[in-house]
Every structure is written in C-alpha cells, then in structure tokens.
C-alpha cells in the first residue's frame, strides 16, 4: 500500500528540522512536517517573553554542520534563534514541506499494511510508513490551578503564551515561579513594573553569565574562516561537558567540582545581595545539578530594588485583584505572570496517543512498566516509529547534541533498511532491556541518586522518582553509540 507520505514528522522545531535534513541526505524525499503552531521554530517560535535568550552559548547551541557566524552575542537573544530556524529550514528546502496549524491527536500502527495512521484535530487522518515525533520536551505549558484563579480580573500571562501587546510598565505584577524562564524575565520586569512580587517555591542555583556582544570583526572572521568558530565551539562545548555532563553524571568523582560550583553561585549571590535573610531565602537546599542550573548577572540584583519583593510563604488563593499568601497576607496586583514551566511527564510522554503492535498504548506501557527507549529513540512493539523526545534521550549538554546523535542513528538505521531491501524496523525487546539496564547502572553514579535532590522539584525526575530524562553518557560516547549500535538490535522486514 502506498502511504500518503513515506515519512511524517510531527513538530517543526529544531528536532523535526534536524530529522528532515537527515532524511533529505538519505535521498528520502517524500517527507511532510506537521506543526501545531502557526510557524516553525518550536520553543523559539512559541516563547517570546521579555528577556528570552539561550542559556547555552550560541556557538554550541546550533547545528554543528550549520554554524551561524552572525550571532550578535555569546548568548543570543530568542528572536535570533527563531531567525536561525527559518534560515536552516529555507536552506534545506524544508519550508514547503511544512504544514502549520495541524495538531496531531493520535497515531495507530497497522501490522497488515505496515503503515501508521495519524489523526489530526480537524478530524482528518493520513498514513505514513515512518513516523517521527519531534514534539519537544518543554512544549506543554503547565498552568497550576490555584484556588480562586478564575476570579482574577487582571491580566494573566503564561511565559509560553506571552502577549506582546502587554506592557508591564507601571503595573503591579506578580510572577509565580523561579525557574530558568523567571530568571530571565524577572530582571526585565523589575526595571519597568511599579511593584513586582515574586512567588518562589524552590530557590534556583544561579551562576554568573559570561556574556558579551560578539564584535562585527569577529563575526566576519567566523564567516571567512569557519575553522575559527569551530575552535571556539570546541572550547565552549568541552567546558560545558565538564560542568553539565561530567559534573552531573559522575557526581562520585566530581563531588569537589560540584561543591566548587555551588560555592561560586553562593559567592555570586553574596556579591549582589547584602541582606542576609534575603540571601538565605534565595539559597537552594539541594545539590547543584539536580535541576537545570541557570546563568544570570542581574537576577539576584533585581531583588535588591525597592519595587521588588520575594515571597516564600506560598500562595493561599487568588482573589479578583490580589494574591493571598499562604500565611494570609493580601498582595494587590493587576498582572499575574505564570512562569510555571511545562508539564513534562504527564502530557508529553508521549504528546499524543500512540498505539503500536498488539494495540499497546505507548503512554500506558511507559507508565505501567518504566519509562524507556532504546538509545533514547525507538521502542519495541512500535515499528517504524522514531520518538525524538523520549526517556533517556536528552544529552545534558544541548538539544543540538541530542538531535545530531539521533540524526546519526536514523542514518545508520535507514542505511541498513535500504541494504536489506526492507521497509519495516523494530528494536528487539532484548536490546531495549539491555539499554535500560545500562542507563540505570550509569545513573547510579549521578547527582540524581548520590546527591541530595530531595525538594529540588526537578523536571529531570518523573513521578516514579526516576531521573529518566538525561542520557547518562558523555557526549562523545553517545555520538559514537549512535554511529555504531549493533544492527542486530533491530529486526527488519
């Protein structure tokens, strides 16, 4: 049977774009990309709150094969990432394959035809031979249901659905949440708001951000001699590998380094905040690395402004014009900003119902057994499915390392499919079990299990208490594994 498309990719962010580039290089042309939003870019299209920027330096946070010499700063502002996504999609002729405003609601495998049937919110269905889910990790905004929330009469903004027409100047603003997003937004809001109250449940580790504009002469050098930018990328990536991968995964060996990182963050806080009580309330009580650390030079300082207050007594309820704290104090506001992050484990694994062989729902299987995916990309009983945002898929370094490893996996897998003249692949149960055992073993050495992560409220952990998001391997080990995994780990038909 001929499907509507050979390959259907769900999601037009950097994951979906990377997968499409890989299929193009394999000579597979019949690729469609469907996207829920009205444009491409994923996270970098959806998010446009004030202060948005990358928190991994841009020389590293980009495709290694598609360097952008023209980043304006070491940590590029969000809109540059969106333009970069557009540029890459244009260059690889992907835009014409994209269909926006199409929300996938389910996918079902049919053994007889060897095809996936994919349904969309408009009630239509389409078929494909290979299904790629590139729906992101942090793509379903979390909106906690505080008591009285629906009675609030002022402006409510979630950071992932920012209304650019709202100007915070002169407003009485409450920000709920102190994750990476809030760390970027709060200094911006503090500058203009009449009053800003930040509701913090869990303090966050913040280290200094070494950021500066990249001079035009350096940009021209990067453009003229790409090896210079590659060298800078290598240095930056190696440093991050030590900090964000080795330091987290090899906590046993890196304990001292980890403590030094925490000392640096404490010194950073001390340098910006002289009030000891405020410092105490801003200091985390869990180990650095349990949760994604953040980088900022202006976050702590924002709390020293007379118009900014840190609230740590919780949220009792919301009233039409106020937030009432856990201990009963009424704080009048006109604007409520939800920097409350994303619903990762409940709604994003998977992002829509996927039914494989034997009528097995992927979400149900993950929850009833354990969250798992062979090499963070395929699952037994889900033939011809490449799930890019899977358990144990995320390289702690950068999303681009994750996707480039997965592109290599796709390349090797489809090379073998072609060599065998096969059209269906499925990872074996044994290979999947062995991979799950391996990652479980490796994680035993990580800060997640050896360190103190209690009370960190980290999205790295699922509801079963497993740190099932990060792949516990050095980046080079992951890339090598994606190039060399045993082909017998798959069955081909």
Stretch that binds ligand NA7, among 8-16, 22-30, 101-109, 333-341 (CB under 6 A): 333-341
Compare residues 335 and 340 and give the one whose CB is closer to ligand NA7: 340
Tell the smallest beta-carbon distance from residue 289 to ligand NA7 (Å).
13
Compare residues 139 and 387 and give the one whose CB is closer to ligand NA7: 139
Compare residues 284 and 383 and give the one whose CB is closer to ligand NA7: 284
Stretch that binds ligand NA7, among 24-32, 179-187, 428-436, 469-477 (CB under 6 A): 179-187
Compare residues 58 and 384 and give the one whose CB is closer to ligand NA7: 58
Residues of span 433-462 touching ligand NA7 by CB under 6 A: 457, 459
Nearest position to ligand NA7, beta carbon:
179
Specify whether the CB–CB gap between 478 and 377 falls below 8 A.
no
Q: Establish if 179 lies at the interface with ligand NA7 (CB under 6 A).
A: yes
Calculate ∠ Cα 48-50-52, nearest 5°.
Answer: 60
Compare residues 72 and 202 and give the one whose CB is closer to ligand NA7: 202
Q: Establish if 173 lies at the interface with ligand NA7 (CB under 6 A).
A: no
Residues of span 110-149 touching ligand NA7 by CB under 6 A: 138, 144
Q: Establish if 378 lies at the interface with ligand NA7 (CB under 6 A).
A: no
Residues 274-303: x where in contact with ligand NA7 by CB under 6 A, - otherwise, as a string: ------------------x-----------
Q: Establish if 108 lies at the interface with ligand NA7 (CB under 6 A).
A: no
Tell the smallest beta-carbon distance from residue 30 to ligand NA7 (Å).
34
Residues 338-377: x where in contact with ligand NA7 by CB under 6 A, - otherwise, as a string: -xxx------------------------------------
Compare residues 279 and 457 and give the one whose CB is closer to ligand NA7: 457
Q: Establish if 470 lies at the interface with ligand NA7 (CB under 6 A).
A: no
Q: Establish if 412 lies at the interface with ligand NA7 (CB under 6 A).
A: no
Stretch that binds ligand NA7, among 175-183, 208-216, 244-252, 316-324 (CB under 6 A): 175-183
Total residues contacting ligand NA7 by CB under 6 A comes to 17
Contacts of 430 (CB under 8 A, 6+ apart): none
Stretch that binds ligand NA7, among 119-127, 170-178, 213-221, 270-278 (CB under 6 A): 170-178
Q: Establish if 170 lies at the interface with ligand NA7 (CB under 6 A).
A: no
Tell the smallest beta-carbon distance from residue 313 to ligand NA7 (Å).
12
**Which of residues 178, 398, 432, 462 is near ligand NA7 by CB under 6 A?**
178
**What's the gap between Cα 286 and its chain centre?**
22
Q: For the CA atoms of the chain, what is the radius of gyration?
A: 23
β pairing state of 335-338 and 353-355: unpaired
Picking from 35, 34, 33, 31, the residue whose alpha carbon sits closest to that of residue 7 is 31
Stretch that binds ligand NA7, among 172-180, 303-311, 419-427, 439-447 (CB under 6 A): 172-180
Compare residues 179 and 472 and give the one whose CB is closer to ligand NA7: 179
Quickly tell me which residue has 């950097």 as its tokens: 14
Q: Please state, in angstroms and rounded to a whole number, the distance separating the CA atoms of residues 315 and 329.
A: 10
Q: Establish if 176 lies at the interface with ligand NA7 (CB under 6 A).
A: yes
Q: Establish if 202 lies at the interface with ligand NA7 (CB under 6 A).
A: yes
**Which of residues 181, 393, 398, 446 is near ligand NA7 by CB under 6 A?**
181
Tell the smallest beta-carbon distance from residue 343 to ligand NA7 (Å).
9
The footprint of ligand NA7 (CB under 6 A) covers: 138, 144, 176-182, 201-202, 292, 339-341, 457, 459
């Amino acid at each position: 049977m001929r499907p509507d498309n050979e390959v259907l990719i769900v999601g037009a962010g950097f994951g979906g774009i990377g997968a499409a580039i890989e299929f193009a290089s394999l000579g597979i042309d019949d690729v469609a990309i469907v996207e829920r939003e009205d444009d491409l870019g994923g996270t970098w299209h959806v998010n446009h709150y004030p202060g948005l920027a990358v928190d991994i330096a841009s020389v590293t946070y980009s495709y290694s094969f598609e360097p952008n010499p023209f980043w304006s700063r070491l940590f590029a502002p969000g809109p540059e990432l969106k333009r970069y996504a557009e540029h890459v999609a244009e260059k690889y002729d992907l835009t014409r394959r994209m269909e926006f405003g199409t929300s996938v609601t389910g996918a079902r495998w049919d053994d007889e035809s060897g095809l996936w049937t994919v349904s969309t919110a408009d009630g239509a269905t389409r078929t494909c031979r290979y299904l790629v889910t590139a729906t992101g990790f942090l793509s379903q905004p979390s909106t906690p249901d505080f008591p009285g929330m629906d009675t609030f009469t002022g402006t409510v903004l979630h950071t992932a659905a920012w209304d650019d027409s709202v100007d915070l100047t002169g407003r009485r603003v409450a920000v709920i949440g102190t994750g990476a997003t809030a760390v970027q937004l709060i200094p911006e809001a503090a500058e203009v708001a009449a009053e800003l109250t930040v509701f913090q449940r869990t303090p966050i580790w913040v280290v200094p951000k070494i950021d500066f504009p990249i001079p035009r002469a350096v940009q021209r050098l990067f453009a003229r001699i790409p090896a210079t930018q590659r060298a800078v990328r290598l240095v930056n990536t190696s440093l991050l590998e030590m900090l964000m991968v080795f330091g987290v995964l090899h906590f046993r060996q890196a304990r001292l380094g980890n403590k030094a990182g925490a000392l640096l963050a404490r010194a950073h806080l001390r340098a910006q905040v002289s009030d000891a009580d405020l410092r105490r309330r801003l200091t985390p009580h869990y180990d650095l690395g349990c949760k994604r650390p953040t980088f900022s030079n202006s976050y702590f300082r924002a709390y020293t402004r007379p118009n900014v207050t840190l609230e740590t007594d919780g949220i009792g309820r919301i009233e039409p014009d106020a937030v009432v704290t856990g201990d009963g104090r009424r704080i009048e506001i006109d604007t409520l900003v939800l920097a409350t992050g994303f619903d990762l484990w409940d709604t994003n694994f998977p992002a829509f119902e996927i039914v494989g062989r034997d009528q097995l729902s992927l979400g149900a299987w993950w929850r009833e057994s354990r969250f798992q995916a062979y090499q963070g990309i395929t699952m037994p009983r889900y033939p011809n499915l490449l799930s890019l945002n899977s358990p144990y898929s995320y390289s702690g370094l950068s999303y681009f390392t994750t996707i480039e490893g997965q592109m290599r996996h796709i390349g090797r897998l489809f090379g073998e499919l072609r060599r065998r003249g096969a059209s269906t692949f499925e990872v074996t149960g044994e290979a999947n079990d062995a991979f799950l055992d391996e990652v479980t073993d490796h994680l035993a050495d990580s800060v997640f299990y050896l360190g103190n992560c209690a009370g960190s409220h980290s999205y790295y952990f699922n509801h079963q208490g497993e740190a099932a998001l990060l792949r516990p391997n050095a980046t080079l080990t992951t890339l090598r594994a994606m190039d060399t995994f045993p082909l017998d780990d798959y069955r081909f038909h």
